[in-house]
Chain A
């Protein structure tokens, strides 16, 4: 089975600091998305169960941390990697990323199953998997917490509201995964060393037949600032019984208890 996992390099959101309401990205480490690792782990498990190959596909962005990301994916167990790296494809909106990914997947010799994390660690829009599925004309299931592939089909389990759903898609198909699906493996030193020798192809937009004009942004970020929270900030200190009394009295005055 030919499995493609789409991965993204993200600034570690835990490390983003705020100064004067502006996010400070200097010195923030970049890493493979957390959910991308879950998708990779799921892909590796499917491959190990039914045979085949795992190809990690990514788009190089302005942060230029792409080599480390790809190396991490290969060290985890992907067999090959494809990087689309082009000066015209470094700051893209979700529609444009999907255009690039879909074109790269089409250039691959085969793709039976496309796996994604349900969202990226930084912006979490969840748009790219659905857009890629539409562009490739394949069915999709989001939020899988179990993925099993057999000849010609993939079966997924997901938790939606009050229901657990078991769904089946004919291949080729696109599936996004949630974090509870698995515990992504941590590559051993040996696997990290071996990763360097695995095949990595670097393609330009011309290689995948995408015209830069097709990547014109459909949306624009007007501002991106930390929220100003207007809260009361009343702190109760002292003995537990006194704190509890003052606290509950405050909730009563607010009208949220005792009605």
Chain B
């Protein structure tokens, strides 16, 4: 028996992978296994079954606490062997991306990370990811016996997924980690999660000073959106690192993205390219952001944004 194995430390992402994985597995004549690892992992098993997993391998081994890459990779390699996995789909979160290389090395596998599209072409997987800092999309095939793909969250959907049997298996794993968790503390000042935000207002260097970002926040409030930014604003320490969108930050796929005072350097726009609707406000008509926008306002953000907020209040 051969299987397709899915894993992410984020249950929602793992469910997305299980649902799409089931479609791939049916086309290839494979079963679907999922892994749920770490403290409290057993609770995710029913959801993974409902999303499409035939088998759910559960381990709450203490070595997996805090998801150290060495122990998680060891667990997945052992589970992959037991399940006879020929394809492994991971979530390309920070942890998943770190894990992908280590697991692939253990499996003697080629791997593609930050995958934003995965398709079967003539029975072979073709994975797409950004290259050259986002300027191009590289489409890659993996030639090894086992293939590892780390896939961006929300690339697939588990809505209307066909369920699998969801049989829970508790494997006997040999695990150890060198990583010691000294402390984990919640971020102060209300950390934001851009990955899952349905609406995002992006702010960039068009804002002249930190205080002016209040205008961006106000627009976000009127749109019920979350504020994200370009890397340079985080470099100025106007906003925290968790607000960065793009190559060095979040890759988002909101229903609406409004870029304000953002020129549209590709290092930022790769993080919003898959938004359903892109809008932009910029004083430079030639700004690259307008080339990727559905709707754009050419104008001074200090005049336009208050007018937009005013109008939104009237809707």
Give A contacts to B, CB under 8 Å.
11, 13-14, 16, 18, 23, 93-95, 98, 121-131, 133-135, 138-143, 145, 155, 159-170, 173, 176, 178-180, 217-227, 229, 231-237, 240-241, 243-245, 247-248, 250-252, 254, 256-258
Contact = CB atoms under 8 A, between A and B. Distances in A.
Interface of B: 66, 68-70, 73, 93-95, 97-102, 104-106, 109-114, 126, 129-144, 177-187, 191, 193, 199, 223, 231, 234-235, 241-242, 247-248, 255-256, 265-267, 273, 276-279, 285, 290-300, 303-304, 306-308, 310-312, 315
Contacts of B279: 247, 251
Contact of B182 (A125, A167, A232, A250): A167
Contact of B132 (A13, A127, A163): A13
B312 A257 contact: yes
A179 to B, nearest CB: 6
7 contacts: A125-B112, A125-B114, A159-B241, A166-B184, A167-B66, A219-B143, A232-B295
A127 B101 contact: yes
A93 B110 contact: yes
A168 B144 CA distance: 34
B109 A218 contact: yes
B184 A164 contact: yes
Contact of B95 (A95, A160, A222): A160
A163 B141 CA distance: 35
A140 B297 contact: no
A147 B88 CA distance: 32
What DSSP secondary structure best describes chain A's contact surface?
mixed
A240 B299 contact: yes
Contacts of B241: 145, 159, 178, 180
Contacts of B191: 161-162
A220 B111 CA distance: 10
Given A130-B105, A168-B179, A218-B143, A236 B68 contact: no
A166 B182 contact: yes
Given A222-B126, A256-B277, A236 B298 contact: yes
Contacts of B94: 142-143, 160-161
Q: Binding site of B, secondary structure by majority: helix, strand, loop or mixed?
A: mixed
A94 B139 contact: no
A255 to B, nearest CB: 9
B310 A244 contact: yes
A170 B178 contact: yes
Contacts of A180: 234, 241
Nearest to A140: B69
A32 B94 CA distance: 23
B132 A11 contact: yes
Contacts of B105: 95, 98, 130-131, 134-135
Contacts of A225: 136-137
A138 B267 CA distance: 32
Contact of A127 (B104, B133, B234, B303): B104
Given A126-B113, A224-B136, A241-B307, 20 more contacts: A13-B267, A95-B104, A98-B101, A98-B105, A123-B131, A130-B105, A134-B73, A140-B98, A142-B94, A159-B187, A167-B66, A176-B98, A178-B241, A218-B143, A219-B111, A229-B292, A231-B293, A235-B297, A235-B298, A247-B297
Nearest to B240: A159
B136 A163 contact: no
Contacts of A14: 133, 265, 267
A125 B115 CA distance: 10
User: Which one of A142, A145, A240 has the greatest number of beta carbons of chain B within 10 Å?
Assistant: A240
A163 B178 contact: no
A252 B132 CA distance: 36
Contact of A165 (B106, B144, B184): B184
